[in-house]
């Protein structure tokens, strides 16, 4: 939209502008925040959002690939819109998050239901962890209340959002304890973990239906899958997922197990063995893996390291660091129906190989 067009739109009475913007898809509202400060304030206005909520299902927008880059003085994030085939620089994270990054704190973030969840912690004292939830569409944010922490938390975490009920939960913990914030009760509940393994080495879980999966390194030098049922609040037995994943030559016994990537794809759990690029699907009943496809060797060879796999609908996006360009990221997309691999154009915020990537889907979920 040109500056002239924007100025003409700004002459409309606010009540008419509210009604027009309220009928737009959520993803379009995200785009239009960048037109001008006036438009951003109108879009974030409670009157616009109040009209939008009954007109839309909570997750009307197609999900976008989101990538965040942590710098010494800032924390920036960018989204890739597959429909428009372009990157968009997103509005800044909340000031609390940017100040934490500038002061040298460790910033981990996660996405669920259109919300972003942040863990802000000291590199020297992981028990001093703050949690914040933020909706990038409405700009609403809040810091979650503190909880009793006589144990080291923040070793693993995962958010769970229910967009229909307008509620969310945030799960976190270490190898012995867990804590879960419930937006309905506005409180934390805590518990202990028995017989699961060394969860402290894991960071982010993978949600598949009602189950959360975490990769757990073991004393054998391999990895198991720890499983948590979010409905029943029960930790389930682990199983040796690598022994069951007889795919290619993923080198179970050579110390490479933690580089493999698990991810959810439309209700199923998948595994990419990053040394051979094989993608396998898990049968949740038999616990057996079935190979589905693999990444071509010439594309696999362009990765220095595969950091994440993100899938939805027809697309699987593989994110990692590139060999050819030092300190740069590489984004490769597999189109399932076409059985084709494509590379995305470079990200405009590509400043390091320490990118955190996730799926972002705008919503009106409350914080």
DSSP H helical segments within the chain, as ranges?
A: 3-9, 14-22, 26-32, 37-43, 46-55, 95-102, 241-244, 297-300
CATH number at residue 351: 2.120.10.80
**Cα-Cα end-to-end distance for the chain:** 31
**Residue 109, beta-bridge partner list:** 118
| Residue 34 binned pLDDT confidence (cut-offs 50, 70, 90) | low
48 and 62 together in one domain: no
| DSSP structure string for 187-227 | EEEEEE--S---GGG--B-EEETTEEEEEEE-TTSSEEEEE
Q: How far is CA 305 from the centre of its chain?
A: 18
pLDDT for 196 equals: 58
CA angle, 116 then 53 then 25, to 5°: 75
358 with 114: CB under 8 angstroms?
A: no
290 and 331 together in one domain: yes
Tell me the pLDDT of the chain averaged across its residues. 77
Q: What one-character DSSP code corresponds to residue 3?
A: H
Is the predicted pLDDT of residue 37 greater than 60, yes or no?
A: yes
Q: What are phi and psi of 252, to 5 degrees?
A: -55, -40
> Could you tell me what percent of the chain has a pLDDT over 70?
65
**Domain count across the chain:** 2
CA dist., res. 53 & res. 51, Å (int):
6
pLDDT for 250 equals: 35
What pLDDT digit, counting tens, does each position of 121-145 carry?
Answer: 877 766 678 899 999 888 889 999 9
8 and 127 together in one domain: no
Query: Is 304 within a domain?
Result: yes
173 and 26 together in one domain: no
46 and 63 together in one domain: no
pLDDT for 32 equals: 63
Region 205-228: mean pLDDT is 76
What pLDDT digit, counting tens, does each position of 81-119 carry?
Answer: 888 888 888 888 899 998 888 888 888 888 998 899 998
Give the range of the structural domain holding residue 110, as residue numbers without chain letter: 57-360
CA dist., res. 1 & res. 5, Å (int):
6
Query: Is 292 within a domain?
Result: yes
Is the predicted pLDDT of residue 4 greater than 60, yes or no?
A: no
> Could you tell me what percent of the chain has a pLDDT over 90?
23
Query: Is 67 within a domain?
Result: yes
Is the predicted pLDDT of residue 14 greater than 50, yes or no?
A: yes
157 and 115 together in one domain: yes
| Residue 265 binned pLDDT confidence (cut-offs 50, 70, 90) | very high
CA angle, 357 then 70 then 31, to 5°: 60
Q: What one-character DSSP code corresponds to residue 254?
A: G
Which span out of 59-63, 74-78, 345-349 was modeled with the highest average pLDDT? 345-349
Crossing angle (nearest 10°) for helices 46-55 and 14-22:
40
35 and 83 together in one domain: no
pTM: 0.80
């Amino acid at each position: 939209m040109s500056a002239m067009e924007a100025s003409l739109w700004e002459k409309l009475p606010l009540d008419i502008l509210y009604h027009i913007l309220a009928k737009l898809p959520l993803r379009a509202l995200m785009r239009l925040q960048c037109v001008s400060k006036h438009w951003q304030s109108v879009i974030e206005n409670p009157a616009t959002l109040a009209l939008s909520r009954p007109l839309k299902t909570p997750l009307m927008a197609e999900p976008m690939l989101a990538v965040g880059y942590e710098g010494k003085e800032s924390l920036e994030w960018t989204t890739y819109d597959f429909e428009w085939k372009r990157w968009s620089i997103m509005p800044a994270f909340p000031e609390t998050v940017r100040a934490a990054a500038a002061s040298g704190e460790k910033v981990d973030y996660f996405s669920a239901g259109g919300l972003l969840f942040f863990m802000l912690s000291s590199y020297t004292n992981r028990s001093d962890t703050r949690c914040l939830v933020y909706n990038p569409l409405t700009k609403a944010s809040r810091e979650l209340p503190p909880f009793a922490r006589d144990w080291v938390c923040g070793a693993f975490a995962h958010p769970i959002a229910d967009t229909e009920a307008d509620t969310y939960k945030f799960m976190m913990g270490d190898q012995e304890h867990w804590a879960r914030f419930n937006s309905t009760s506005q409180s934390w509940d805590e518990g202990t973990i028995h017989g699961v393994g060394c969860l402290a080495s894991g960071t982010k879980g993978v949600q598949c239906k009602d189950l959360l999966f975490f990769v757990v390194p073991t004393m054998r030098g391999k990895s198991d899958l720890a499983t948590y049922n979010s409905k029943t609040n029960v930790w389930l037995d682990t199983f040796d997922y690598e022994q069951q994943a007889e795919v290619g030559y993923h080198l179970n016994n050579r110390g490479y197990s933690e580089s493999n990537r698990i991810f959810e794809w439309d209700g199923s759990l998948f595994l990419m063995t990053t040394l051979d690029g094989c993608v396998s699907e898990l049968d949740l009943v038999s616990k057996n893996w079935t190979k589905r496809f693999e990444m071509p060797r010439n594309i696999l060879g362009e990765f220095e390291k595969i950091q994440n796999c993100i899938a939805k609908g027809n697309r699987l996006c593989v994110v990692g660091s590139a060999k050819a360009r030092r300190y740069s990221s590489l984004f490769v997309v597999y189109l399932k129906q076409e059985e084709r691999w494509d590379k995305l154009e470079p990200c405009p915020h590509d400043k390091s190989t320490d990118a955190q990537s996730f799926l972002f889907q705008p919503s009106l979920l409350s914080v």
